[in-house]
Amino acid sequence: MIDLESLDFAKQGGLLPAIVQDARSHRVLMLGYMDRAALEATLAQGRVTFFSRSKGRLWMKGERSGDVLELVAIETDCDGDALLVQAIPHGPTCHLKRTSCFAQAPGSVLGELEAIVAQRARERPQGSYTTTLFEAGPKRIAQKIGEEGVETALALLAEADEALLGEVADLFFHTLVGLQARGLSLAEVGRVLEKRRLAKQRVSD
């Protein structure tokens, strides 16, 4: 939990710059400003809220459009005078209806794909291949992961680079579907990898 008393609101006239990052794709979404009340509202409600300098009041992102930012985590920088807000966007963040206010902001394609897969799992749109996988159930998803794994291995041995990359992409997609079907995420896979890295580091030390 962030310690509000450690933050230096006075340094910049009562406002802290708050960089918002997509918690799944790590794409930078926007920059806003928070005073203490905005930060407290964000923490209490779980929806990212700013102090609007133009409106002169608290402003919850998406309060009119519905394109809210669901809070995941907040951390401060080393000086306590800036915030990094990790959130899950529900709709475009930019008022121009772009994903990010920074048009060329880099992000994780896998993270964005995971978000789409999760949306398909919730909404089950007709005509979607992903929907057919979820409705077929875990056995069919597992079968597809196995098929794509074999095809990836064969491509590694005997196919051109482009074919191999295509098979790896197919394998990644079906693996994301499998994780979603079990209620798991890429972030959890990342934590396993980080745990292994730290364990290996301790052994080498």
Backbone phi, psi, residue 162, to 5°: -60, -40
Residue-level pLDDT at 100: 94
Residue 101 covered by a domain:
no
Q: What is the pLDDT of residues 88-120, one digit of tens each?
A: 999 999 999 999 999 899 988 998 899 899 999
Q: Is the pTM above the cut of 0.75? A: no
CA distance 106 to 31: 15
CATH number of the domain where residue 45 is located: 3.10.20.810
* Domain carrying residue 169: 109-204
pLDDT < 50: residue spans in the chain: none
Residue-level pLDDT at 3: 82
How many structural domains are present in the chain? 2
Residue 104 covered by a domain:
no
**Tokens 């745990």 sit on residue:** 195
DSSP class of residue 9 equals G
Q: Are residues 59 and 121 in the same domain?
A: no
Q: Are residues 76 and 121 in the same domain?
A: no
